[in-house]
Amino acid sequence: MAVPGSEDWTRSVPALSDLDEATRERLRAISRRAALPAGTKVFGEGNPCQAYLIVLAGEVRVQKVAESGREIVLYRVGAGETCIVTTACLMSGVDYDAEGIAESDITAQILPAPAFRELLGRSESFRDFVFRAYGTRISSLLMLIDEVAFGRMDRRLAACLLARAKGTGTVAATHQDLAVELGSAREVVSRLLKDFERRGWVTLSRGSVTLLDAAALGEN
């Protein structure tokens, strides 16, 4: 998605296509543009939730960190998407129970909490937008819970490599990065990657994994 012009950013977000004109005009009036560099902590666990974020360009990684330091990636918020952890916090009035990190430079529109509640209360089309995004993301989180609780780690790792390669054949990630993604230990991921390499499915190098046999990974 291209970064929209300042005159009407709402029309660059497909999920906002059903907004009525009055809501569209109000949303433009009460939101503001923000640009965040890669690596920025967009929100942290225990922080109060003060705004609703609609990402226009870039990607935010939302993750949960345990007291032990173990991490698991819950989902990523890309262009045209919103964060359901933020939505839940705004609607319930509780603090964040996860953290969001900008994986790349981010451009977004920020809707302050009072403005979010105003539109949620007065606009049916805005409510539809918020709850459609919420429902879609909840479904993906349920799938993640199912995978973590019941899925084989080798299959999850293979699926993760295929998804992150995005057809390029290379995944730029350390073993620790992949462990965080899967909510596992680095040692487990390293052992499985070594097994994949022994089978001729991947080649390992410092900070990256090259996929040699995507079909075999997909059938694993």
pLDDT, tens only, 189-219: 999 999 999 999 999 999 999 999 999 998 8
Structural domain boundaries of the chain? 9-149, 152-219
Q: Please state the pTM of the whole predicted model.
A: 0.72
Residue by residue, DSSP assigns 51-109 as EEEEEEES-EEEEEE-TTS-EEEEEEE-TT-B-HHHHHHHHHTPPPSSEEEESS-EEEE
**pLDDT reading at 146 higher than 50:** yes
Q: What order of strands is seen across the sheet that includes strand 106-112?
A: 32-36, 106-112, 51-57
| Domain 152-219, CATH class in plain words | mainly alpha
Quote the CA–CA distance of 178 and 183 in Å, as a whole number: 8
pLDDT band at 151 (very low <50, low <70, confident <90, very high): confident
**183 or 99, which is more confident:** 99
**100 or 1, which is more confident:** 100
pLDDT, tens only, 67-122: 777 788 899 999 999 999 999 999 999 999 999 999 999 999 999 999 999 999 99
**89 or 147, which is more confident:** 89
**pLDDT reading at 178 higher than 70:** yes
Half-sphere exposure for 82 (CA within 13 Å, toward CB):
29
CATH topology of domain 9-149: Jelly Rolls (2.60.120)
Query: How many CB atoms sit inside 10 A of residue 97's CB?
Result: 12
